[in-house]
Amino acid sequence: MAAAAAADDYPTIDPVSFDEVLCGTGLPEAVLAAACAAGGKTVLHVDPNPFYGSLSSSVPPLFLPSFLLDSSSSSSSAAAAANPSTTETTVVHGLQRRTPYSDFETSGTVPEPAGFTVDLVRGSNHVEFKSLDGGTLLYWDGELCPVPDSREAIFQLQDTKLNKCSDKKQQLLQKYYLNNFLKLVEAHIAATSVSCSDDGDKEEASAGKKISEEDLDLPFVEFLKKKHLPRKMIAVMLYATAVSDYDQDVSGFHEKLLTTRDGIKNVALYFNSIGRFANATGAFIYPMHGHGELPQAFCRFAAVKGALYVLQMPVTGLLMGKENQHYVGTRLASGQDIRCQQLILDASYKIPSLDLPSDASDSNPPRKVARGICILRRSVKPGLSNVLVVFPPKSLQEQQVATVRVLQLSSSVAICPPGMFIVYLSIPCADAFTGKLCINKAIEVLVHFQASNGSEGHLETASKDNEDVKPGLIWNCAYGTSGTVLSCPMPDESLDYRNMLESTKKLFADTYPDEEFLPRKSSPKYAECDSDSAE
């Protein structure tokens, strides 16, 4: 391990002072490094691992247990003694690396041949995306029902299990309500866009098309009921289209209850995302080779803008100013001290709570997410390769208070061999144990368990000839993750990156309130050198 190497084995970094020092090359740290470098800041980005990605990495399944369970300390007495405290700073020793994961368990055996890559989570030509061509499925009354991705698709479902109704008159009435609802959403979004323009006449004309403020403040579930949508379509809008994570069909208003204002925005985002790119027919896209490609792309971007990168470089201590009692730098495993204006650590670092944010108290417990990963020999639904499955709250068991989301991916995105599928499951939870119960229940629904020849750890389907038989489970693991009180956010339960990007943008704005985040027009620091070597 790099942390155990002698101080002389590490490179010397020059210069020794930066605007930003970031430890860990996960996606939020990589985005922040890119934003700072694009804004002309001097940036040092280090990672104790020999690869990019940190908590946003994509790794082989066999490497997953050691990565998730590694909580070894990166402190080094030799390095600490190499460069003593000065009259201006104090070295805070005992900085440790810890695992933000818990309750890890696995079963089965990763099959041969190799070629599997799994994500720890769910800017450049280095990243290529592929559409989830299978769309979204909603688990309802024991069935996997397709989620409509357009108004036409919604109407085509009126005779299916998702919108089943034997009364023809009632079918027409439901179609009328659905049509009115979608028209209302489209008109509201269009009117809102006009309101943001400088044209007063158009704004006045569009005012009558907006949803009223009274309705916008309603819980979204109440607004959907008010518009007479059928119960199953309400579930579609809440948990598949508006991607709500928590049970919305509860009495009383609470912080996890989605408002109509936010619900309409999410529905509009979903439909506006459909077919946005030429090679993407659905609302969701996935990076080829896994999410680990994304932080690498931002790190490359930051490097082009002048950021300095050093892998296999642990941080063993923090420098604290003796006057202001704030961290002003780091001590590296080489024994070298690096000063900085802003220090960012990822969630794998455990530091003394000397200047934690004011909201880091017992009254604000860390966010928790339970996750599962499976390798299957067949798709969860015949004919579909890359698909999203949504289990609304209480659809698996009464104790399920949040949405379980399942993402199935195939070899078409270069993360597993042909004929195999990797499935990711996640659910926000109060504790990892409860969350894992829901994860395992979802796996039971999707996968038919049957031991083959009594051999332990080997599972297969009862009949490969029956198209209705659920896919066989080859390997799976489940674990929990906790949020962090440090600067950069942990990967959360969301399907997209909005929460992470908003947190990263806020951190940048707090540090540089008068500067633009990732400006579109910024020349590389080494543009002249790059242009000379370009082919």
- Taking the domains of the chain in order of start, what are their residue ranges? 2-101+290-360+484-533, 106-131+364-481, 150-273
Separation between Cα atoms, residue 17 and residue 389, nearest integer Å: 48
Looking at residue 113, what is its pLDDT? 58
Mean per-residue pLDDT, 28-50 = 94
Separation between Cα atoms, residue 508 and residue 277, nearest integer Å: 29
For the entire predicted model, the pTM comes to: 0.79
Which residues have a Cβ under 8 Å from the Cβ of 50 and sit 6 or more positions away? Answer: 2, 311, 312
- Model confidence over 45-67: pLDDT tens digits? 999 988 898 888 888 888 888 77
Separation between Cα atoms, residue 175 and residue 383, nearest integer Å: 28
pLDDT at residue 125 is higher than 60: no
Least confident of 5-9, 72-76, 98-102, 315-319: 72-76
- CATH top-level class for 2-101+290-360+484-533? alpha beta
pLDDT at residue 27 is higher than 50: yes
- Model confidence over 396-441: pLDDT tens digits? 998 899 999 999 999 999 999 998 999 999 999 888 888 999 999 9
- Model confidence over 137-152: pLDDT tens digits? 999 988 888 887 766 6
CATH superfamily of 106-131+364-481: Guanine Nucleotide Dissociation Inhibitor, domain 2 (3.30.519.10)
The answer to whether the CB of 301 falls within 8 A of the CB of 125 is no
The single residue listed with the structure tokens 């985005």 is 31
The CATH code for residues 150-273 is 1.10.405
Q: What is the DSSP letter of 216?
A: H
What residue type is assigned to position 495 of the chain?
L
Q: What is the mean pLDDT of the chain?
A: 78
